């Protein structure tokens, strides 16, 4: 029984090798480079930027279109809950409940 590799498997293996090499290279960076104040500042801001972009994309897009719908209300409730210093679970549940309620009212 011959095993054939199609383009998908070649892509999966290539991506896995690249991910491994990037991870290995990340561990090989000298400590003095990573302890530079500018690098520390950038590394502290990257998760914030990525999460903000993810929230914006998930809130304001549907397929390839910009939309304003019930998800914006859920985001607004989440922001208000965060400003009131609510626990994370309360923020998530209140945003989801608001978005779901408005979705079912349509």
Instruction: Give residue 6's pLDDT.
Output: 86
- Collapsing DSSP to helix, strand or coil, 61 comes out as strand
* Residue spans of the chain under pLDDT 70: 1-4
Instruction: Give residue 84's pLDDT.
Output: 97
Number of domains the chain is built from: 1
This prediction's pTM? 0.64
Answer whether residue 29 is part of any domain: no
CA distance readout (Å), 45 to 42, 51, 88: 5, 10, 20
Answer whether residue 90 is part of any domain: yes
Answer whether residue 10 is part of any domain: no
Instruction: Give residue 3's pLDDT.
Output: 63
CA distance 99 to 80: 14
Answer whether residue 16 is part of any domain: no
Answer whether residue 18 is part of any domain: no
Q: Beta-carbon neighbour count of residue 94 at 10 Å? A: 16
The range of the structural domain enclosing residue 83 comes to 35-105
Report how many helices (DSSP H) and strands (DSSP E) the chain contains, helices first: 5, 2
Answer whether residue 67 is part of any domain: yes
- The number of C-alpha atoms within 13 Å of 22 and in the hemisphere containing its C-beta is 6
Per residue in 23-43, pLDDT tens? 999 889 898 888 999 999 999
């Amino acid at each position: 029984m011959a095993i054939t590799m199609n383009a998908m498997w070649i892509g999966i293996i290539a991506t896995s090798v690249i991910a491994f090499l990037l991870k290995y290279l990340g561990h090989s960076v000298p400590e003095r480079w990573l302890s530079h104040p500018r690098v520390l500042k950038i590394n502290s801001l990257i998760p914030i930027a990525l999460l903000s972009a993810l929230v914006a994309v998930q809130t304001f897009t549907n397929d390839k279109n910009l939309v304003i719908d019930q998800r914006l209300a859920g985001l607004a409730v989440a922001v208000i809950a965060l400003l009131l210093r609510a626990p994370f679970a309360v923020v998530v549940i209140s945003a989801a409940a608001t978005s779901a309620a408005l979705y079912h009212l349509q």
